[in-house]
A and B are shown apart, each in its own frame.
Chain A
Amino acid sequence: QVQLQQWGAGLLKPSETLSLTCAVFGGSFSGFYWSWIRQPPGKGLEWIGEISHTGSTNYNPSLKSRVTISIDTSKNQFSMKLSSVTAADTAVYYCARVADLRYVWGTYRYFDYWGQGTLVPVSS
């Protein structure tokens, strides 16, 4: 059974850097993309970005200038850093695995395993 366990710093002040790590247990680590998704309190979900096991990244343009996702295949872990945070970055942050199904007629991707979520408040 695949499990994602995430951790990172809690309360941040404006202008600081948010840093989170997600460890993957069970299943294969290579061959997948790994994503970060966030959810402000009481609001909807926002995709932040993803990284492949080879280190190829894809970011949401709305956050691209501030976000870096990295991977450590030796530890089956991937991480995210978000710089210059403001109160608008207050959210529960989730890590997730991207299932990638390839058929002759198309490719379908979805988030099939999620971490438990980490609430990161940003306040002065």
Chain B
Amino acid sequence: GAGVSQSPRYKVAKRGQDVALRCDPISGHVSLFWYQQALGQGPEFLTYFQNEAQLDKSGLPSDRFFAERPEGSVSTLKIQRTQQEDSAVYLCASSLPGLVNEQFFGPGTRLTVL
């Protein structure tokens, strides 16, 4: 079966440009997470959706970061006016509610801001 997919896999943006990163979770997965991973570091939580509701956005680093999941399936992470410090891999994960709570991760989108 299909896993979590993300697009694009690689994105190069000039400083100040807006970018949109897409995540297609596993079908039927209620929960969706976004993480940011800087080079050489572990992933860091950005935001969490349960269906279409954004229940936790405490990890978003600034108001330039915005995420949505309007129909409770596909999610988009948007970064406005990109800065060099936004360069990172952006990972999406989805999961079903339950005792294990295993999160299934996509391959990530590597964003490079020049």
A binds B: no
Residues of A within 8 A of B (CB): none
